[in-house]
Amino acid sequence: MKRKNNFTGIIVLVVLVAIAGGFGFVYLSPQFEQNKPEIKFEEKEYWNLKDSLKISIDDNSGIKHYKVIYKDDNNERVLEDKILDELKNSIDLEIKPPKLDMFFKGENVSIILEATDRSKWNFFEGNSIRKEYKIKIDKKIPVANVIGNSFAIRHGGSALVIVEVHDENLKDAYISFNDEERFDLIPFYKENFYIALIAWPVTIEEFKRVNLIAIDKANNKTITKVPLYIRALKVKNDNIKLSEKFVKDISVNVLQKSGLDVPSTVEEIFVKENRILRKMNTDVLKEITRKFMNKDKIDSFSIKPFKRLEGSKTVAGYADRRHYYFNDEKIDQAWHLGMDWASIKNASIKATNSGKVIFNDYLGIYGNTIVIDHKLGLQSLYAHTSKSHVMAGEEVRANTKIANTGSTGAVFGDHLHFGVLVQGIEVNPLEWMDKDWIKTRITDVIIDAKKVINSK
């Protein structure tokens, strides 16, 4: 009797071990994994019912089925429902918006996402997940109208644009030049109206189109053309012969002070300074000016024509096309983007217009440089200075002495490089030194735009 009881106990133990082993196999086996599929959805607060919905689904055991449902308060429609025949651990979906009938009228809708994996867990049914995302439907494009603008723009020059933009879900609005340069809008006069100076960069040869672009949170976009006549720029070509002494004394020093390695040959040294460092410096100008320019609301704008350095001669002009030669071989070229004025050494530099100093530092080829912001995205630049009398962040008044001329940076001798910038892009200073140009292209445009706005 005792032997029989022992045998029965052994059988029970074997069964229990087998059951435990079976449960352990099921619990630990990858075929019975218990993790639900992972759904990633490009969540949107608004949807324009034009753009596709981007969805990704991931699962280690493979995705067996997924469904996407569009639902409003009273109706729902299946956008996609698919059982996968082949094993896929990851899928990326672009769900096209539904073509809805008259019964789908809700502005607040849900996107419901369901997915099931190939796991044998849950009695071979797999792991399932269901997620619901709330979205507001917005199919209305922003209002974006041009109220007024300068009659024409010259290659390398400036123009003014005044616009009306509004949308209850507005995300962004700006002026685009050739889809290459962006110019921020500044609030103007009354609500929903904006103003911006724009530039035709001299480095962009072809004029294609200037657009006002407005985009809302649902990605509805309005593109409105800014009507501008275009004017050509007379370019002066200068051939400049470089000496080995200049490159080793000036270019090497500028590269070192800018924290750049110095190449081994004269040609490489100059090209690195003139091309690579120049690009770095102009990028800094654009970044700094767009970051710190005054974007407060503007009701009117008044600026005096900028004056030439007192007692000076013009030794180089804007848009001079410089061709550099070493040992009678051309090694590089560059645009000269300002006015060079020379008089006595360490001549006093005065600010023609009041403004805020937004940059005062060493800047590679420009040497010691001061940039003053005059509002409306307009800045003046003073380069190669020897001594500064102002600090960054300081408000300066017209006729204030701000610096002395010098020969810092990549220069042949003591002079002032004077530049005018529009949102960080150097433009033709001669326009901003011309009283009639300022009146007809800037001041009169503002006055006329106010009349239009008041009539609305």
What are the structural domains, with CATH classification, of the chain? 30-137 (2.60.40.1930), 143-232 (2.60.40.10), 236-427 (2.70.70.10)
The pLDDT of residue 25? 45
* 210 strand-pairing partners: 177
The pLDDT of residue 108? 87
The pLDDT of residue 3? 52
The pLDDT of residue 54? 92
Token output for 194: 């904006």
Q: Render each residue's pLDDT in the chain as its tens digit; 456 residues.
A: 555 556 565 555 555 545 544 444 444 456 678 899 999 988 789 999 899 989 999 999 889 999 999 988 878 889 999 999 888 999 999 989 888 765 566 788 999 999 998 988 887 788 999 999 999 989 999 999 999 999 999 999 999 999 999 999 999 999 999 999 999 999 999 999 999 999 999 999 999 999 999 999 999 999 999 999 999 998 999 999 999 999 999 999 999 999 999 999 999 999 999 999 999 999 999 999 999 999 999 999 999 999 999 999 999 999 899 999 999 999 999 999 999 999 999 999 999 999 999 999 999 999 999 999 999 999 999 999 999 999 999 999 999 999 999 999 999 899 999 999 999 999 999 999 999 999 999 999 999 999 999 997
Residue matched to tokens 């685009």: 176
Torsion angles phi and psi, residue 187, rounded to 5: -55, 140
Report the half-sphere exposure of 436 (CA within 13 A, side-chain side).
Answer: 0
Q: Is 432 exposed, middle or buried (0-12, 13-18, 19+ CB in 10 A)?
A: buried
Residue pair 378/422 in contact by the 8 Å Cβ criterion: yes
The pLDDT of residue 360? 98
The pLDDT of residue 33? 84
Token output for 166: 């509004």
The dihedral through the CA atoms of 181, 187, 189, 194 has a sign that is positive
d(CA 4, CA 323): 109
Q: Is 187 exposed, middle or buried (0-12, 13-18, 19+ CB in 10 A)?
A: middle
The pLDDT of residue 44? 82
Residue matched to tokens 């100076």: 197
Closest CA to 112 of 86, 83, 135, 136: 135
- What does 220-257 look like in DSSP terms, one character per residue? -EEEEEPP-EEE--PPEEEEEEPPHHHIIIIIHHHHHH
The pLDDT of residue 6? 60
The pLDDT of residue 20? 47
CB within 8 Å of 133: residues ≥ 6 apart: 41, 43, 110, 111, 112, 113
d(CA 406, CA 411): 9
Longest CA–CA span in the chain (Å) reads: 128
The pLDDT of residue 374? 98
Q: How many CB atoms lie within 10 A of CB 271?
A: 18
34 DSSP 8-state letter: -
